[in-house]
Structure 1
Amino acid sequence: MGFLKSFFNNVFDEQELPGDGGAATALASSFETISEFELEAHLAVSRYGAFELTDAIRPSYGLEVVPRQGFRHDVYRDEESRSDVPVLMAATSKDQLIDTFMELLEPLGPVVDVVLETSHGAAGGGHTDLYREHIDMPILQSILWDFEDLLLNDGCTGVAVLNPRMPQEVQLDEHKLLIVYGSDLKAYEGILIDHHVDCDEELRFITEAEHVHSTTERFVEQFEELKMRLGMDGAL
């Protein structure tokens, strides 16, 4: 596994399997037995039909889940309040991902809180959350547009924007999925449909099978700049 070990240590920061935090086990399951040529060819594929992945993530070599556009309804169980929270989960092609995300932020209102999620340097699927309260939406969106490349292509950076007074939350996660939490999500459904992201309750996402995340030192530096621009100093 000499080349693969070097490749994943230097290029791909994390690999996940459902219920398994061990990267070595995950690698053995799909990537260890393929040749260097097969690996390079697989990682070079970013388009599956009309759907284009960002540089942040790639599916398993066996393609248990083929990436495609759409959204589905789900439920998040809040154990603290013992309540079920409605969820929309969506995948959009690279060319419209940030536009769709920015429009999904609009129903949250003029002043929001923002959370940055990072797994840079983390082991075993861990991550750190950084929180900033009370930022004007136009200022936040302007800053996020300045870091479009990071948000699109770094597989170790995620961002969530929320209005705790509603309460609703919109997330662009490390896998570049769009996730909306809260009650009365009709406005968000309408935005997704307007962007040709249609409802498909049978849709499976790249997170539901083996996959790999990508990052670079350049993205680590950009994340630190974004953190500074948002006035974030510590972890939650």
Structure 2
Amino acid sequence: MGFLKRFFKSVFHENELARIGNSFEHLSEEQLEAHLDVGSYNGFELTEAVRPSFDLKVVPTQGFRREVYRDEQTGSSVPVLMASATRSNLFETFIELLDPLGNEVDVVLESSHYQQSPSHCDMYREHIDLPVLKSILYDYEDMLLNDGCTGIAVLNPHLPMEVQFDEHKLLIVYGTDLKPFENVMIDRDIYPTPEMRFITEAEHVHSSHQRYQQQLDELRMRLGMDEHYG
């Protein structure tokens, strides 16, 4: 899904929470179940897709942080926004962040459902009208919010600008002019928080279900994506 994957570290990709380490490894079954059942922290609502570490080195919160990605090979720099939003605000914020991309976009689905290793496969669709895409995505809101093995990116390759709704359910935007995206976030009560940390910056665990893989396949077909993954 692009170079922003390099921002993430200490990532677990576990379809059914089968392998958990570090702060989780000495927990009793009851302690683990109780931790995974926690649905909010200080009013911040979690999706079902991911949970923070048991020791809560990063407590999820709402806000966004400005970053700059520097490509060591080309020497170029790209402004980046990384944002976290409470569950009730998350999907609509993602949908509104698509508007500055223009009327025709490309879309990428990223999945770790089809892999035995922590790698991903990307499925690509070029040239789809944004209103059509939005209509389709609303039909799969539950899966996109709660599947810890699915992410989506929408981009305008001509500008270039990209909006990612990744498998950690973070919102990530990059492009030369990020002001329109910042305005969307602020209008939805997501404010700049320079010192905030994201769930990807500490140990965490992903969750998924077989039904989400089935829904992902349905979404792929509705978007007219190739059935071969890679």
TM superposition score normalised by structure 1: 0.88
SS of residue in 2 equivalent to 1:81: coil
Question: Structure 2: which amino acid aligns with 1:170?
Answer: V
- Quote the Cα distance in structure 2 between the aligned partners of 1:219 and 1:132: 20
The one of 21, 30, 34 equivalent to 1:28 is 21
Q: Could you tell me whether the CA contact under 8 Å between 1:131 and 1:235 is conserved in 2?
A: no
* Structure 2 match to 1:13: none
Identity, % of aligned pairs? 58
Alignment of 1:107-146 (within 5 A): 107-146=100-139
Question: Structure 1: which amino acid aligns with 2:49?
Answer: A
- Quote the Cα distance in structure 2 between the aligned partners of 1:74 and 1:95: 25
* Structure 1 match to 2:9: 18
Q: Which stretches of structure 1, 4 residues or more, deviate above 6 A after TM superposition?
A: 20-24
Count of residue pairs the alignment pairs up: 219
- Quote the Cα distance in structure 2 between the aligned partners of 1:166 and 1:225: 30
* Structure 2 match to 1:202: 195
Q: Structure 2, unaligned stretches of length 5 or more?
A: 1-7
- Quote the Cα distance in structure 2 between the aligned partners of 1:61 and 1:166: 41
Residues 1:103 and 2:103 aligned together: no
SS of residue in 1 equivalent to 2:122: strand
Residues 1:147 and 2:117 aligned together: no
The one of 163, 166, 172 equivalent to 1:179 is 172
SS of residue in 2 equivalent to 1:188: helix
- Quote the Cα distance in structure 1 between the aligned partners of 2:13 and 2:139: 34
Task: State the Cα RMSD in Å.
Answer: 1.9
Question: Structure 1: which amino acid aligns with 2:85?
Answer: T
SS of residue in 1 equivalent to 2:106: strand
Residues 1:222 and 2:222 aligned together: no
Q: Could you tell me whether the CA contact under 8 Å between 1:116 and 1:160 is conserved in 2?
A: yes
Q: Deviations over 1:111-150 (max 9, x none)?
A: 0000000011424421001110000000000000010001
SS of residue in 2 equivalent to 1:191: helix
- Quote the Cα distance in structure 2 between the aligned partners of 1:99 and 1:30: 33
TM superposition score normalised by structure 2: 0.90
SS of residue in 2 equivalent to 1:112: strand
- Quote the Cα distance in structure 1 between the aligned partners of 2:48 and 2:82: 20
Question: Structure 1: which amino acid aligns with 2:20?
Answer: L
Residues 1:69 and 2:62 aligned together: yes
* Structure 2 match to 1:159: 152
Residues 1:46 and 2:39 aligned together: yes
SS of residue in 2 equivalent to 1:27: coil
Question: Structure 2: which amino acid aligns with 1:18?
Answer: K
SS of residue in 1 equivalent to 2:132: helix
Task: Give the drift of 1:28.
Answer: 3.2
Q: Structure 1, unaligned stretches of length 5 or more?
A: 1-16
* Structure 2 match to 1:83: 76
